[in-house]
Structure 1
Amino acid sequence: MAIIYAVFSASNLIAPSVIAVVGPQLSLFFSGLLYSAYIAVFIHPYTWSFYTLSVLLGIGAAVLWTAQGNLLTINSKDSTIGRNSGIFWALMQFSLFFGNLYIYLAWHNKSHITDKDRQTVFITLTVISLVGNFLFFLIQRPDPEPAPSDASESLLPTEISDSCDVAPSQTLGSQALDAFKRSIQLAMTKEMLLLSIPFAYSGLELTFYSGVYGTCLGAMTQFGEGAKGLIGLSGILIGVGEILGGGVFGIMDKCNRYGRNPVVFLGLVTHIVAFYLIFLNIASDAPVAPEEGTQMQAFIQPSVAVALICSFLLGLGDSCFNTQLISIVGFLFRDDSAPAFAVFKFVQSITAAIAFFYSNYLLLHWQLLIMVLVGFMGTGTFFLVEWAAISARRDSDYDSI
């Protein structure tokens, strides 16, 4: 995972250039093939193929996420970007729910996973992912429309250029170079520098809920023989929290007159509650415990119910942050959505890689402390950017009257 996210981070620097050359749709397709290849490796895993495909997956992930953000933006308006971000996030997180539910039911009470068990799962996942890759070709891009006469309302030409169509006067090489330069320029803007802290927080907590927390549950010998099975249940409840958050915030976006800040604040509060309960419920050496588990005692008598509630809260809080981050990036950088999402994923993935690395060495309470500090700072800087965006929108509405 550290390799994947390290390569993912570095590859975000070239992702806008790739999309500028081949377009967002083909970028999604070819990147998706790398995802399918990575899944297929586990049918008959070898060390060399596992690490090789980890590197290739990092490259594919950078291009896929940037292209996804680009297509989401050009198919949305300012009034629908929040709703569409929520719907996208909820649909994506259904994989957490159904995937973990299948594993839990199929492997429940199994102490040994046979080759046949493993191959059945990964053959199925490979086929599903390949079908999904070809469905990318059904995604439609908006048709160019005549620009309105009022120059202040003329957004479509920039949207068309943002969708990575190459102008006849530009070569593919110059188009790719321009996209790379634009990514560097965007990374230095005030808004992007402020947003880099919540980007970083999303990477830290991504590592925690997707890798560290499940490891902690499996290492808790106080949970009995079913400790390993809790990893699947935890994943299901994380998925439920993600789906609920994405769906609710997508539906409620039209009714939210207070902007994105209340949702982000809810995400912070949800995560702080989860972190505090985890601090009390899970032994501090759980992330670094040996295979036989930890013998340390938590601050309270470990509770399976509390552990699973925390899983749900982790998913719900993550959906709060990610739906609003996708929304604000698409809103603020509509004309440069591909480079903007590349910067977003660059910061998120590099912090995720760092977190995957230190999670093997730091005790649980130190990992929680890092996330609490970065979470508070990231929420504060997000508030500043959102307030500035609301103020600019009000000024624009006043000038148009």
Structure 2
Amino acid sequence: MSRAHAEVFDRPTGWRRHYYHPVTQVSMLGLVCFMCPGMFLALTGLGGGGQVNGTVQANASAILYSTFVFFGLFSGSINNFLGPRRTLMLGTWGYSLYIASFLAVSIHPGAGASAFVEAAGAILGICAALLWTAQGSLMMAYPTEAQKGMFVSISWSIMSLGGVLGSAVSFGTNFNNTANSVSTGTYVIFLIVTLIGVFLPLLMANPDNMIRTDGTRVNQVSHTSWKTELFSLYVALKTDPWIILLFPMFLASNFCYAWEYNDYNGAIFTIRARSLNNVMSWTAQIFGSVLIGYFILDQKTVRRRVRAFYGWTLVFFMVFVAHVWAYFYQKTYIRAETGAKDAYKIDIMDENYVPHVWLMIFHGFLDSMWQTYAYWLMGAMSNDPAKLAVFTGFYKSLQSAGAAGIYRADAVGISYMNIFLSTWCLMVAGMVFSAPMVYLRVTDHTDEDKTLMEVEPPAAATPEKA
């Protein structure tokens, strides 16, 4: 059914009109991410998970993203089979377990707790694949074509606010901390918040009952078997092969975290400076996502194809601004120096702190613009939540592959400069490869797409009836 002939439904009335409003539901979705991924990102942003030695956290992250790679390939199918709310529920509890493992390290250092962290990282990789796939499919399916940038911004901004508040809690509880690792109370607060987030999906509406603001209904997924779900991976690639050109962009999307959080923030700052850097970085993510999502990608006075090129140009420009600046700082320190016991750490009271925190702010802008633009591009390719779930699964799987590789490189002691340069080069490659897809695939309107709604795997041939 084409966009022009899409059936229009009456939206609910009374209190149900507000509850079933797409903005309400995507905001609730953002709250789930606020409670769980938001706390995880606040912890990750401290460098080393808030510990003095970041090797345990780097190894756990490598394991986490490795399991994410595998399960991300199938998480779209799992989401379509179980439904987004059940998938969100399954995905959230892994964050609580992961933070509990760092609490165990804080209480019982050296008592085998590091193995707990690595095991929790593996479990979180499975859970995170489920959560992010469900989140991405809903975030891109609920809005109309003219609202997709805004909806990505809403969801990303609320999640980033979790990173802001989590980092602010860390800053407050560790302001006078001289141990250069976060206090036990910080982990306890993070754990409580993530446990609340586990139950939030129960309050969300069933996507099958959702009607967009223009009166069109969100397509219902009607798969019947696991075989059908797995076959949908093949169908999604066959019907939209242009998604392959976004794979380098997907690969680069979390690649930057190892250098930014471990090899910059975690390497050269005191714990309270790391916490404040985190606050500033995640605050910048909110503004960056709103800037590119609402003011550029959803600009109603400009055609969507033109907006796509505006967004591409801005992100490409930010890649060079953030990394050229960072290069001049990276030249001034090496891993062997920052790992020494008496190594100098930049504190918030030092004269050189302000320019260094501004670099964190610019990287926050870049990260949110990159992620928002990637989601917007996927949303511009289809309106089918089943296909969007598969696309999101590809996105998170490749994203995690990149993160797994770079965190492992960090754990084994690859030089800071090599990690930094590989990050920069991969981000440039991601933008270059995405350019042909933007030019050839992004159109001013997307026809109603039901490619995967009723897909069935090929059955054995049967004799024709006379």
- Distance in 1 between residues matched to 2:173 and 2:287, nearest whole Å: 25
1:109 corresponding residue in structure 2: 176
- In the TM superposition, what is the alpha-carbon distance from 1:111 to its structure 2 partner? 1.5
Is the counterpart of residue 210 in structure 1 residue 268 in structure 2? no
Q: Which has the higher helix share?
A: 1
Cα shift at 1:364: 3.0
Q: Paired residue for 1:389, among 423, 441, 466?
A: 441
Q: What is the alpha-carbon distance in structure 1 between the residues aligned to residue 392 and residue 421 of structure 2?
A: 28
Which moved further from structure 2: 89-98 or 284-293?
284-293
1:374: which partner in 2?
426
Q: Where does residue 28 of structure 2 map in the other structure? A: none
- Measured in 1, the distance between the counterparts of 2:418 and 2:127 equals 32
Partner of 1:176: 229
Which residue pairs with 2:69 in the alignment? 9
> Which of these residues, 20, 23, 28, is aligned with residue 83 of structure 2?
23
Map residues 180-329 of structure 1 onto 2, 5 A cutoff. 180-182=233-235, 185=238, 189-218=240-269, 227-252=270-295, 253-255=297-299, 257=302, 258-283=306-331, 285-287=333-335, 289-292=338-341, 303-329=352-378
SS at match of 1:359: helix
How far does residue 384 in structure 1 lie from its aligned partner after superposition? 2.2
Question: How far apart, in 2, do the equivalents of 1:395 and 1:320 lie?
Answer: 23
Q: Secondary structure at the residue paired with 1:393?
A: coil
- Cα distance in structure 1, aligned partners of 2:312 and 2:256: 14
Between 85-94 and 35-44, the greater mean CA deviation after superposition = 35-44
Asked whether 1:49 is paired with 2:116, we answer yes
Shift of 1:23: 1.0
Deviations, residues 123-147 of structure 1 (Å, cap 9, x unaligned):
22222112222111222225377xx
1:93: Cα distance to partner?
0.7
- Match in the other structure for 1:364: 416
Per-residue deviation at 1:378? 1.7
**What is the CA distance between 1:379 and its match in structure 2?**
1.6
SS of structure 2 residue aligned to 1:237: helix
Shift of 1:6: 1.0
Give 1:182 shift: 4.2
Q: RMSD of the alignment, in Å?
A: 2.8
How far is 1:245 from its partner?
A: 0.9
Return closer, same or farther for 1:123/1:365 CA change in 2, 3 Å cut-off: closer
Q: What are the residue-to-residue correspondences of 1:342-361 with 2, within 5 Å?
A: 342-360=393-411, 361=413
Alignment CA distance shift 1:213-1:93 (3 Å): same
Provide the C-alpha distance between the structure 2 equivalents of 1:352 and 1:114, rounded to a whole number of angstroms: 23
Is 1:70 equivalent to 2:137 in the alignment? Answer: yes
Paired position in structure 2 for 1:149: none
Distance 1:317 1:375 in 2: 11
Q: Distance in 2 between matches of 1:260 and 1:294?
A: 46
Look up the match of 1:58: 125
Q: Judge which range, 266-275 or 229-238, deviates more.
A: 266-275
Q: Is the 8 A contact 1:43 1:122 kept in 2?
A: yes
AA aligned to 2:202 is: F
Residues 99-120 of structure 1 deviation map (CA, whole Å, 9 limit, x = unaligned): 11221122113123799x31x2
Retained in 1: the 8 A contact 2:382–2:388?
A: yes
CA contact (8 A) 1:2 1:356 kept: yes
Corresponding letter in the other structure for 2:136: G
CA, structure 1 residues 287+10, in 2 after alignment: closer, same or farther (shift >3 Å)? farther
C-alpha separation between the residues in 2 aligned to 1:156 and 1:372? 42
For these two proteins, the number of residue pairs brought into alignment is: 362
2:140 touches 2:375 (CA, 8 Å); kept in 1?
Answer: no
Q: Deviations over 1:290-334 (max 9, x none)?
A: 243668xxxxx9932221110000000111110010111122133
Structure 2 gaps of 5+ residues are: 1-60, 106-112, 345-349, 448-466
SS in structure 1 at match of 2:307: coil
Query: 1:342 Cα shift?
Result: 0.5
Kindly provide the amino acid, as one letter, of the partner of residue 73 in structure 1: M
Q: Is the 8 A contact 2:92 2:198 kept in 1?
A: yes
Measure, in 1, the Cα distance between the counterparts of 2:421 and 2:102. 35
CA distance in 2, matches of 1:25, 1:362: 41
Gaps of 5+ in 1: 146-154, 219-226, 296-300, 397-401
The CA deviation string for residues 177-210 of structure 1, in whole angstroms up to 9 with x for no partner, is: 3344446657xx5422211111122122233333
Aligned to 2:459: none
Q: Percent identity at matched positions? A: 18
Residues in 1 aligned to 2:190 and 2:131: alpha-carbon distance in whole angstroms:
18
1:246 to partner: Cα distance:
1.5
Give the conservation status (yes or no) of the 8 Å contact 1:284–1:363: no
Deviation at 1:283, TM superposition (A): 4.4
1:35, 1:185 → 2: CA distance?
Answer: 34
Give the structure 2 partner of residue 143 of structure 1: 209
1:200–1:348 CA contact under 8 A, matched in 2: yes
Is the 2:90–2:130 Cα contact (8 Å) retained in structure 1? no
Name the counterpart of 1:223.
none
CA contact (8 A) 1:32 1:60 kept: yes
In 2 relative to 1, CA 287–204 (structure 1 residues): closer, same or farther, beyond 3 Å?
Answer: farther
- Give 1:150's aligned residue: none
**Whole-angstrom distance in 2 between the partners of 1:394 and 1:251:** 18
TM-fit CA distance, 1:387: 2.1
Q: What is the deviation of 1:389?
A: 3.3
- Per the normalisation by structure 2, the TM-score is 0.71
For 1:277 and 1:356, locate their aligned partners in 2 and report how far apart those are by CA, in whole Å: 23
- 2: CA distance between counterparts of 1:180 and 1:196? 15
1:48-96 deviation digits (Å, cap 9, x = unpaired): 4222211100000111111111111221222211110111111111122
Per the alignment, residue 188 of structure 2 pairs with 123
Q: Distance in 2 between matches of 1:122 and 1:372?
A: 32
* CA 8–210 in structure 1, closer or farther in 2 if over 3 Å, else same: farther
Q: TM-score, normalised by structure 1?
A: 0.81
